[in-house]
Amino acid sequence: MLGIGGSEARTFLQNLISNDVRRLAPDMALYALLLTPQGKYLHDFFLAEHADLEAGTTLVLDVERDRAADLLRRLTLYKLRADVVLADLSDRYTVGAIVGAANLQLGNSGGAAQALGGGVVFADPRVVRLGARFILPRSHVAGVAAELGLRLGEESAYEALRLQEGVPDSSRDLAVERSFPLEAALDELHAIDYGKGCYVGQELTARTHYRGTVRKRLMPVHIAGTTPASGTPVMFGTIEAGEMRSSQGDVGMALLRLDTLDEARAAKGVLRAGDATIVPQPPEWLARTLPTVDAIRKQ
| CATH architecture for residues 2-148 | 2-Layer Sandwich (3.30)
Model pLDDT, residue 176: 98
φ and ψ at residue 140, rounded to 5 degrees: -105, -10
pTM to 2 decimals? 0.93
Task: Give tens-digit pLDDT for 192-242.
Answer: 999 998 999 999 999 999 998 899 999 999 999 999 999 999 999 999 999
Do the two domains 2-148 and 215-299 of this chain adopt the same fold?
Answer: no
* Sheet with 119-123: strands ordered across: 93-98, 132-137, 119-123, 113-116
- The alpha carbon torsion through 76, 80, 82, 88 (nearest 10 deg) reads 10
C-alpha–C-alpha distance, residues 287 and 297, integer Å = 7
- Where are the domains positioned within the chain? 2-148, 215-299
Task: Give tens-digit pLDDT for 2-46.
Answer: 999 999 999 999 999 999 999 999 999 999 999 999 999 999 999
pLDDT interval class at 149 (50, 70, 90): confident
| CATH architecture for residues 215-299 | Beta Barrel (2.40)
